[in-house]
């Protein structure tokens, strides 16, 4: 069967439908996912198709959803949990970090936890507080979890099927502002592994690493840069944990320059980890320090301010200019100015 044009959201729905049809142990759980079809309609029609025992409306308790998913996995089921919005995942944080992630290790492999945790994440849709967050670093930092994020409808379809088929727990981050984007999806595609990153656009001057919602922005940035004669190699991570460093390293060895972008805050973010690892492994090929273009170290701001916080095409290109040593917004800062460590009393030295 050839590819058909469908939306990102419908591609995920198709992936869930395929998983439900392929394995009777797959159970979908979440708030409003049954009768309503989910607040984003990602599970639209699935309860009607597979019944209320396979597509389960749950009470409004995220820890309860995650904890009962653990119990279902003990019984041999493959629960697929929907967290309604990124900022609602924290009540279930203990069950994810201490139970979902660690039960396989705790039991020395006797009890696998094939739990998929779907989280619509990221900003750009003008939402109230707690509806636009990027919590990936917490999960990337947690041993035992895998973390993936698709950037196209085809990846949405492929990665959800791979996540559900995996015997490891997988956090599947859905770029909610791309739900309505359309793209070709081959529903007859074979099951593909989650691990490999993808080259979203080929280039030679700078390596630009992104995932989820910002891949599209990076492709637009690459197009704009091409008009100025700059060739950007855009890498779509797909898997955030573990990261396919081999593909990034291969690109950086060619370009010598690395820019990483994400919506999440900077400190302790995935960009920091990738910058450090690539520096360790590609030090001799780098011609400039890795550059991060990220959200600020602030709580996600109110909707009227979010366009300042979420990296856009221009901020990403400013980062690309920095990596290339071209004129950029930070040129007025003297990199050779003396450092200013804090005084013993915690104040800044004058």
Partner 1 sequence: MGTVSLNTPPTGMPHVPEPDLHQVLTPEGHRRPDHDLDPWLEDVTATMLAGLHRDMTVIRRLDTECTHLQRQGELALWPPLLGQEASQVGSAAALHREDYVFPSYRENGVAYLRGVDPLGLVRLWRGSTYAGWNPAETNLAAQQIIIGAQSLHAVGYAMGLRRDHSEAAAISYFGDGATSQGDVNEAMVFAASYHVPVVFFCQNNHWAISEPVTLQARRHIADRPWGFGIPAMRVDGNDVLAVLAATRRALERARNGGGPTFIEAVTYRMGPHTTADDPTRYRSKDEVEAWRAKDPIDRVEAHLAATLTDSDRDAQGGPLTIEVVRAASAAAADEMAAALRTGLAGLVDPGPEALFEHVYAEPHHELARQREHYRLYLAQFDGEQLEAGTR
Buried b (16+ CB within 10 A) or exposed e, 151-162: bbbbbbbbbbbb
Selected from 4, 23, 93, 195, the binder of partner 1 by CB under 8 A is 195
Is 235 a binder of partner 1 (CB under 8 A)?
A: no
How many other β-carbons are positioned within 10 Å of the β-carbon of residue 284? 7
For residues 42 and 12, is the Cβ–Cβ distance under 8 A? yes
Q: Is 131 an active-site residue?
A: yes
Residue 86 and residue 135 in contact, taking contact as beta carbons nearer than 8 Å: yes
CB of 94 to partner 1, least distance (A): 6
Q: Which string of DSSP letters, residue by residue, matches 69-119?
A: HHHHHHTT-EEEEEPSSGGGSGGGHHIIIIIITTHHHHTTTSS----EEEE
Instruction: Find the binder of partner 1 among 215, 243, 275, 323 (CB under 8 A).
Output: 243
Residue among 44 and 273 whose Cβ is closer to partner 1: 273
191 binds partner 1 (CB under 8 A): no
User: Cβ contacts of residue 24 below 8 Å, gap of 6+?
Assistant: 54
Q: Provide the 8-state DSSP code for 327.
A: S
Q: Least CB distance from residue 59 to partner 1, whole Å?
A: 5
Give the phi and the psi of residue 185 in degrees, each rounded to 5: -130, 125
Distance of alpha carbon 213 from alpha carbon 208, whole angstroms? 14
Q: Does 94 participate in binding partner 1 (rule CB under 8 A)? A: yes
Q: Considering 131, 262, 288, 309, which one is annotated as catalytic?
A: 131
Among positions 10-29, residues that touch partner 1 (CB under 8 A) are 27
According to the binding rule CB under 8 A, does residue 181 interact with partner 1? no
Is there binding between residue 61 and partner 1 (CB under 8 A)? Answer: yes
* Identified binder of partner 1 from the candidate list 1, 2, 143, 280, rule CB under 8 A: 143
- Give the separation between CA 119 and CA 215, rounded to whole angstroms: 18
Token output for 66? 């995650």
Which of 127, 149 has the CB closer to partner 1? 149
**Binding of partner 1 at residue 76 (CB under 8 A)?**
yes
Residue 197 makes contact with partner 1 by CB under 8 A: no
67 belongs to the binding site for partner 1 (CB under 8 A): yes
Among 1, 2, 109, 346, binds partner 1 (CB under 8 A): 109
**Catalytic residue numbers, as ranges:** 131
Task: Write out the residues near partner 1 by the rule CB under 8 A.
Answer: 27, 53, 58-59, 61, 63-64, 66-77, 79, 91, 94-95, 98-99, 103-112, 114, 143-144, 146, 166-168, 195, 242-243, 245
């Amino acid at each position: 069967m050839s590819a058909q044009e469908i939306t990102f959201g419908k591609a995920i729905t198709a992936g869930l439908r395929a998983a439900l049809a392929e394995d009777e142990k797959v159970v979908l759980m979440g708030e409003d996912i049954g009768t309503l079809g989910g607040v984003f309609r990602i599970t639209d029609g699935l309860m009607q198709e597979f019944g209320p025992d396979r597509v389960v409306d749950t009470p409004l308790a995220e820890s309860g959803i995650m904890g009962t998913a653990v119990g279902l996995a003990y019984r041999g089921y493959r629960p697929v949990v929907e967290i309604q919005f990124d900022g609602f995942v924290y009540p279930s944080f203990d069950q994810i970090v201490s139970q979902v992630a660690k039960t396989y290790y705790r039991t020395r492999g006797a009890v696998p936890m094939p739990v998929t945790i779907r989280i619509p994440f990221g900003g750009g849709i003008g939402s109230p507080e707690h509806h636009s967050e990027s919590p990936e670093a917490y999960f990337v930092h947690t041993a035992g979890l895998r973390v993936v994020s698709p950037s196209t409808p085809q990846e949405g379809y492929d990665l959800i099927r791979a996540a559900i088929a995996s015997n490891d727990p997988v956090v599947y981050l859905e770029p909610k502002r791309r739900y309505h984007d359309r793209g070709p999806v081959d529903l007859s595609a074979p099951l593909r592994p989650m691990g490999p990153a993808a080259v979203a656009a080929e280039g030679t001057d700078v390596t630009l690493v992104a995932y989820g919602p910002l891949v599209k922005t990076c492709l637009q940035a690459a197009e704009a840069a091409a008009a100025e004669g700059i060739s950007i190699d855009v890498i779509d991570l797909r898997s955030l944990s573990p990261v396919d460093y081999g593909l990034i390293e291969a690109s950086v060895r060619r370009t010598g320059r690395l820019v990483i972008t994400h919506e999440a805050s900077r400190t302790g973010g995935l960009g920091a980890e990738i910058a450090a690892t690539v520096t360790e492994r590609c030090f001799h090929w780098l011609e400039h320090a890795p550059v991060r273009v990220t959200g600020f170290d602030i709580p996600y701001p109110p909707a009227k301010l979010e366009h300042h916080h979420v990296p856009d095409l221009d901020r990403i290109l400013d980062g690309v200019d920095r990596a290339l040593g071209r004129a950029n917004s930070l040129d007025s800062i003297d990199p050779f100015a003396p450092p200013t460590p804090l005084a013993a009393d915690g104040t800044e030295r004058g």
